Copies of this chain bind each other. A is one copy, B any other.
Amino acid sequence: MNHPHGDEDETRRIWHDLRELVLGQDMRRAVADALGLSFNRAKALTYIDADGPMPLRALAARMFIDAPYATVIVDDLVKRGLAERTANPADRRSKLVHATAEGRRIAARAMHIQDTPPPGLAAATPEELAVLRRVADRLLKEVQGRDEGAADADGAPAHSRQPV
């Protein structure tokens, strides 16, 4: 099956605890308070900054939101001078969103706050960290592989892209 090694319940408990660790930090509030942006705005900004210029539909897919809400969020970021819309040469229907210099600065602050681990993580042994690194990489690869058909990150229409 899918679990050659593992005991189903144990993996569920571990995932439960990892979720509790990540969600038990009230990072939404921490980021929002520090930056004066709602958590979703900050998240959108970090995605735009990290993944480079992208059409709105890619941002929407990445954030699990619909097109009108993506427009609202980007409008707000633009109004604050943190993002800009530019024409997409590959498809004139769409627009590429990219972060301004100020937006990149804010995004960096957001990531600095969010990515600060609980202090105990720094006390983990190199072997433990290596395991975390390996497992996280594997799962992330799997997850992004799973939805890559749904969310196009580049700005070109589907037809002009080559299959791998």
On A, residues with C-beta under 8 Å from B are: 2-6, 8, 10-27, 29, 64, 111, 114-129, 131-140, 142-143
Contact = CB atoms under 8 A, between A and B. Distances in A.
A142 B119 contact: yes
Nearest to A131: B131
Closest 7 interchain pairs by CB? A15-B117, A3-B122, A17-B136, A22-B22, A131-B131, A16-B115, A120-B142
Q: Is the interface of A mostly helix, strand, loop or mixed?
A: helix
A6 B126 contact: yes
Given A114-B16, A142-B119, A143-B118, A124 B21 contact: no
A120 B132 contact: no
Contacts of A2: 119, 122-123
A22 B24 contact: no
A6 to B, nearest CB: 5
